[in-house]
Structure 1
């Protein structure tokens, strides 16, 4: 004895081994035994091979005319066996019953299942709607098949012209166009990016990299709506000669430095910081613009500013115009390194000159800074700054427990041509991190960030502080030591035009400058303000995202530089395992086949080709070589 039954939506025919009141034990053709409920059985039969039954019934079911069957069926619910008698005109055999069962079950538009082996014909209006839907689906499938073939052949279907660019970032996956595109991806084995490039939706990988980032992060464009600026309060005029020190590509000038000799070795050194927080109040429209971006986005040859053009123009410390500034004055003995006093002020500062490091780097040497008989530009500025800066550096190194290693080379990406044109000529301008001008600027920004962090703490004001302990860098609302820098407390405060955290901290500092000990009552952020934690979380996430994008485009332009220079062989320094850093470019990559070598080992690498979409370089190890005298430090993986 055999049984036809339903199991998880499938019909099966198996041999009955034993029966109970509510169940049967059955055995499949493969010998697998199972227990089924009696109420899942539909037919029982003898003298017919169960495997053949299912195969033949499935084939013959397709020959039954559904429209005729629907017209023959009673309008009320019916059992399959009853309809089989009427349809075939005699007592049906097991093959005929099973054939009719398969046809009824496979046509839900015509027949609605009402129970085990029980169906009801669809009402005429519902049937017509269902048939129309099926026809629509059939036509869509035909259209999709045409589209898929066109896409596979490298042609963008006409219907895709207005929407295909949305496939890169935010496709509407319910559209027929996306479903066709997705199927083409499956059939070709390509990624979305690869297929869009092959279809010439984007002219080159650089356009795709930029468009993907902008589409995900700036879907409405990068332009900032101009908002009327509040009036700037009247400020006292600072009687100082201040100078900014930046490379020639810096346009948002956040900081300047002044030096005044009071007597002998006692100097007053001023750190003057652009002060947009003077009018960019918490939760204002201007604040929301900056908070949404969190930071200026940098990329070779281009940037997306955090603040509006009017804010930058008003507060950037450009030479030749009085500009509001938050100034930190430090009175110090530059020979002993003693800091005698410090004071913060809000004032107007006129920058004498925007010094460009690229133009004078070769003249500002350690020898010239330390030997007053040698000629150098701006000796009145750089010599006292260098002398006192060395004491600041030594004091930090005592806390660090070791000297800083600033020997690594960083690179500036200089494009001759548009930043969105991959054929623009790229120049990688090397610059050592221990260049005297870099060390001077870094030392005084560290001093300002550390002193202002302590200033907030002394006045009981929360801020966004940076710390590093046990190798872990974190941001918090209370100060902690920064072991790597070597200071007891630290906060980003010196780049308020370019970084939102600095803008937040600047508001708090302004409150302390204006209100002193009562600042806690009027500061924008009070102690334990939960919004500070929200800012920290959002900033860390977005700042990392911006940095990753900058790194990806720098990697792209490194690959283009290799191509433009037609480099076939380079020297590199082993970092660890298969990872190496090139000696002539800010490029880190893995080398398959690299033998086990000690960190710092110099190797020769052959360049075989690159993929500008995946940002990968195909290269192979050639040999070990003697390290050059100026080999870059391989102990750090971080790139500029």
Structure 2
């Protein structure tokens, strides 16, 4: 005796070795023995053989049209499979035919719902129609996916991909046919999505690929300011005009000129230094649309050849300290003795007319260590610059930074001319740098002290044990050597400076400052600034890395010098580019080596680097 039975949703056959009423011991065609429940048995038969029985049943099942069988059944009425077999084959149904009907019913779940062992119910017409439509859709999608995969494997972009390229790159719908095809080909070819699409010609600009990813995440509504402009500004109060001749010092690309300086002679060799900071907070009220957009953006985003400003350009033009223009400013005046010690300070809100915007590229030719040593600064502001230089050195010494290690560090300027990149080195700690940085450190520390001594809340930066943190409580900044430090000098470029300036201006004008130390909004601004400012910095560094790699390709650099930093970490010559060299032997820090560059990938921002030799000192 043989049996046809169901086990875990699969039909099987076996020869009965023992029948124990509720269970049977059976042997499969391949010889494996098993114990099955008697209730699992659907048919019993003596002939044909087990193998032949299944072959015949399967072939007959394939010949059965499920749609015809469905039409033979009364809709939504439960039936036994053997009854349907009798209707189809006639009263004398062979075991193979009965098994064929069971196999066919089981293999067509859209047409027949299983209700029990050997029992089914025909699907309702509407449900069947919907299921068949879904099946057809899946079939067409499978064909479409296969066509897409074939095209992508040949590095040809399907026409249907073009409207959804942006989403495929940055925010894919992973249930879409396009993504499934793309993902499958990437896995097969061991390529990233961006690499495959680039090979298909879908990424014409690697620069825009990185920029668009950043914009999508942090500027999803775009970088435009809509209708926000100068007409949103509040009317400026009537402010006194400062009787000074001021000048600014900035890079040639700077448009948000936040700071300017003046030097006015006093009696007996003393003089008065003016530090003048643009004051956009006078025209931008708390909670106004302009304030909200500045809060949301947190700061200006800087990348080589481009920037995304915190404030709209028309607003910047109203407050930037442009030459020959009268602009509102909050000014700190320092009375300085002939030995360059500060004898008195005062701060006021006023208007300042900047006489000139000096730029690094031209100023450095006339104001540098050599011209200072020779005492021959041939510049209209030569006397003022010399006074500021001597004052800056005095302040640096008072901070305990006479041998400032920054003097040995190199800054890099990235200048774009179309797709051509020029990267130049500039030693940090030059006279220009020292003058500007020392005056900014001084004003930020002193205004931070003024806020704290007056009991006015502010956002401070402190540093201890190598860690920089922000808080609403003043604390020492060990690296700078000051008792407290609050960013206030860049209100058009950083929202923390903007907030602190708003507090300072309120104090100076005898008004109630908008925020207290307990204000939840103040703490929210601080937290948001810290996280977002870090993201902006990471993006700037990644784009600088991108342009370094572009420069290596542009200059066809395959072998270059480098300097060992530590262990297997080196810094390439002429570039702010650091890499790990697995093949680097153990060498002391600052050892000069020669390395080989290859396999530059502008999408992944990676490259291969190999140690060649140690260079002679």
TM-score, normalization by structure 1: 0.85
Q: What is residue 67 of structure 2 aligned with on the other side?
A: 67
Q: What is residue 560 of structure 1 aligned with on the other side?
A: 550
Structural mapping, 1:601-612, within 5 Å: 601-612=591-602
Structural mapping, 1:12-91, within 5 Å: 41=40, 43=42, 61-75=61-75, 76-84=77-85, 86-89=87-90
Segment of structure 1 superposing worse, 523-532 or 504-513: 523-532
Q: What is residue 203 of structure 1 aligned with on the other side?
A: 204
Change (3 A) 1:626 1:282: farther
Structural mapping, 1:430-469, within 5 Å: 430-469=425-464
Structure 2 distance, partners of 1:218, 1:335, is 51
Q: What is residue 517 of structure 2 aligned with on the other side?
A: 527
* Unaligned residue ranges in structure 2 (runs of 5+): none
User: Which SS does the other structure have where 2:509 is aligned?
Assistant: helix
Q: How far has the Cα of 1:273 moved from its partner?
A: 0.9
User: Which SS does the other structure have where 1:127 is aligned?
Assistant: helix
Q: What is residue 618 of structure 1 aligned with on the other side?
A: 608
Q: What is residue 635 of structure 1 aligned with on the other side?
A: none
Q: How far has the Cα of 1:211 moved from its partner?
A: 2.8
Structure 1 distance, partners of 2:392, 2:110, is 84
Structure 2 distance, partners of 1:30, 1:538, is 69
Change (3 A) 1:46 1:210: same
**Pairing partner for 1:268 from 254, 272, 278:** 272
Change (3 A) 1:79 1:220: same
Change (3 A) 1:6 1:279: farther
Structural mapping, 1:126-137, within 5 Å: 126-137=127-138
Structure 2 distance, partners of 1:169, 1:478, is 41
Q: How far has the Cα of 1:385 moved from its partner?
A: 1.4
Structural mapping, 1:401-440, within 5 Å: 403-417=404-418, 424-440=419-435
Would you say the 8 A contact 1:26–1:35 is kept in 2?
yes
Change (3 A) 1:510 1:67: same
Change (3 A) 1:5 1:342: farther
Q: What is residue 508 of structure 1 aligned with on the other side?
A: 503
Q: What is residue 326 of structure 2 aligned with on the other side?
A: 322
Structural mapping, 1:159-238, within 5 Å: 159-227=160-228, 228=231, 229-238=233-242
Q: What is residue 242 of structure 1 aligned with on the other side?
A: 246
Would you say the 8 A contact 2:410–2:428 is kept in 1?
yes
Q: How far has the Cα of 1:600 moved from its partner?
A: 2.0
Change (3 A) 1:547 1:59: farther
Q: Do structure 1's residue 489 and structure 2's residue 490 form an aligned pair?
A: no
Larger Rg belongs to: 2
Structure 1 distance, partners of 2:396, 2:146, is 69
Q: How far has the Cα of 1:19 moved from its partner?
A: 12
Q: What is residue 378 of structure 1 aligned with on the other side?
A: 381
**Pairing partner for 2:577 from 578, 584, 587:** 587
Structure 1 distance, partners of 2:256, 2:592, is 39
Segment of structure 1 superposing worse, 144-153 or 498-507: 144-153
Segment of structure 1 superposing worse, 258-267 or 85-94: 85-94
User: Which SS does the other structure have where 1:509 is aligned?
Assistant: helix
Q: What is residue 394 of structure 2 aligned with on the other side?
A: 391
Structure 1 distance, partners of 2:60, 2:310, is 70
Aligned residues: 611
Structure 2 distance, partners of 1:528, 1:468, is 22
Structure 2 distance, partners of 1:42, 1:364, is 101
Structure 2 distance, partners of 1:82, 1:316, is 91
Structure 1 distance, partners of 2:343, 2:23, is 95
Structure 2 distance, partners of 1:39, 1:489, is 87
Would you say the 8 A contact 1:397–1:404 is kept in 2?
no
Would you say the 8 A contact 1:411–1:585 is kept in 2?
yes
Structure 2 distance, partners of 1:328, 1:532, is 25
Structure 1 distance, partners of 2:441, 2:140, is 68
Segment of structure 1 superposing worse, 375-384 or 81-90: 81-90
Q: What is residue 637 of structure 1 aligned with on the other side?
A: none
Query: What do residues 96-151 of structure 1 show as CA deviations (whole Å, max 9, x unaligned)?
Result: 66654443233221012334543210122322232223223222322332233233
Change (3 A) 1:35 1:390: farther
Structure 1 distance, partners of 2:51, 2:518, is 74
User: Which SS does the other structure have where 1:240 is aligned?
Assistant: coil
Structure 2 distance, partners of 1:293, 1:58, is 68
Q: How far has the Cα of 1:51 moved from its partner?
A: 9.8
Would you say the 8 A contact 1:112–1:122 is kept in 2?
yes
Q: CA RMSD in A?
A: 3.6
Structure 2 distance, partners of 1:587, 1:311, is 36
Query: What do residues 350-384 of structure 1 show as CA deviations (whole Å, max 9, x unaligned)?
Result: 11111112112133233543564675663321222
Would you say the 8 A contact 1:368–1:376 is kept in 2?
no
* Unaligned residue ranges in structure 1 (runs of 5+): 418-423, 628-640
Structure 2 distance, partners of 1:21, 1:346, is 103
User: Which SS does the other structure have where 2:422 is aligned?
Assistant: strand
Q: How far has the Cα of 1:277 moved from its partner?
A: 1.1
TM-score, normalization by structure 2: 0.88
Query: What do residues 170-204 of structure 1 show as CA deviations (whole Å, max 9, x unaligned)?
Result: 33444444444444434443322122222222323
Structure 2 distance, partners of 1:169, 1:350, is 48
Structure 1 distance, partners of 2:105, 2:200, is 45
User: Which SS does the other structure have where 1:148 is aligned?
Assistant: helix
Structure 2 distance, partners of 1:40, 1:443, is 92
Would you say the 8 A contact 1:295–1:543 is kept in 2?
yes
